[in-house]
Amino acid sequence: PAGLYFVGTPIGAARDITLRALDVLASADVIAAEDTRSLRHLLDIHGVPLDGRRVIAYHDHSGVGAREKLLEALAQGRSVAYASEAGMPLIADPGYELSKAASEAGYMVTCAPGPSAALAALTLAGLPTDAFFFVGFLPNSTSARKTRLEVLRDVPGTLVFYESPKRVGDSIADMCAVLGGERPAALCRELTKKFEEVRRGSLESIGVSLADSPVKGEIVLLVDRARSDPVKEVDIEQSLIEALESHSV
Ligand code: SAM
């Protein structure tokens, strides 16, 4: 049926795509992608024919023109499928402006969900998943990064960062300074790919391991929430005295 379909694509292993996502891509009247080449390659791998359809390039910042074109197709009652380069669109990827515009205009907006590096990393990290906060990419400069980390210091959930191999050492150094190096953390890289690896430990120990053996590839870094200070001996003593006093008549 007519409407906008956000399609989840693999984050590494090409077969990590749902049958429904392939159905949507096979049947959509219009296909749009952040990276037209990689989507055409994916369709090719899975034997989905384009049948004369062109893959339109769309990025939230590629100008209003491209968005108008897709909204016009929706206005004509056509179905439009959109995929970002990897994983779920809108998650540290384009699609938000398109989703907003299409839903505000009253068109049907739905998705064929697929993998996302953030969720894959949460399942492997060994950190609490009851509550988590997706940060995405931190700013590039140390001062802006530290300011952002200060805002995140007391978030009551696991923090999820997307990182680049070139920058991750500097980010971890800033995290140690602002969040504290003793926080449990996990560096998850190249998920679903040949060199998948998870390094678990304190932020500080992961920083040290990076200095010894740097990493390559795509990275998700997870950091545990702040824990309250362990109860100090003197506090226990004090509360015992208070308890005894309150019971003596
Ligand atoms: N939309 C994608 C998603 O749903 O996860 C994220 C796209 S964002 C532009 C790319 C970043 O996601 C990478 O720099 C890395 O931090 C993370 N990422 C993507 N694929 C990954 C993988 N296979 N393993 C680890 N991190 C990955």
pLDDT value at residue 64: 82
Q: Give me the mean pLDDT over the 43-47 stretch.
A: 98
Residue 237 token pair: 């003593």
pLDDT value at residue 235: 63
Cα-to-centroid distance, 218 and ligand 1 (Å) = 6
With CA atoms as reference, report the closest residue to 97 among 122, 63, 121, 74.
63
Cα-to-centroid distance, 161 and ligand 1 (Å) = 10
pLDDT value at residue 110: 98
10 SS3 class: coil
Residue 128 token pair: 């609490």
With CA atoms as reference, report the closest residue to 119 among 191, 197, 194, 20.
191
In this predicted structure, the answer to whether residue 233 has a pLDDT above a threshold of 60 is: no
In this predicted structure, the answer to whether residue 230 has a pLDDT above a threshold of 60 is: no
153 SS3 class: coil
Residue ID of nearest Cα to ligand 1 atom 2: 87
DSSP-derived pairing of the beta strands 158-163 and 132-137: parallel
Helix orientation angle between 142-152 and 168-175, rounded to the nearest 10 degrees: 50
Residues with CB under 6 Å of ligand 1 are 11-12, 84, 86-88, 91-93, 116-118, 162-164, 188-193, 218-220
pLDDT value at residue 209: 97
Q: Give me the mean pLDDT over the 154-172 stretch.
A: 98
Ligand 1 mutation pick, 218, 221, 222, max ligand atoms within 8 A of CB:
218
Q: Give me the mean pLDDT over the 9-22 stretch.
A: 98
Please answer whether residues 219 and 168 qualify as being in contact, where contact means their C-beta atoms are separated by less than 8 angstroms: yes
Q: What ipTM score was computed for the predicted complex, to two decimals? A: 0.99
Tens-place pLDDT, residues 60-77: 998 789 999 999 999 999
| Residue 149, amino acid | L
Cα-to-centroid distance, 240 and ligand 1 (Å) = 51
In this predicted structure, the answer to whether residue 236 has a pLDDT above a threshold of 90 is: no
Cα-to-centroid distance, 63 and ligand 1 (Å) = 24
Instruction: Kindly state the percentage of the chain with pLDDT values over 70.
Output: 94
Cα-to-centroid distance, 230 and ligand 1 (Å) = 35
| Residue 104, amino acid | E
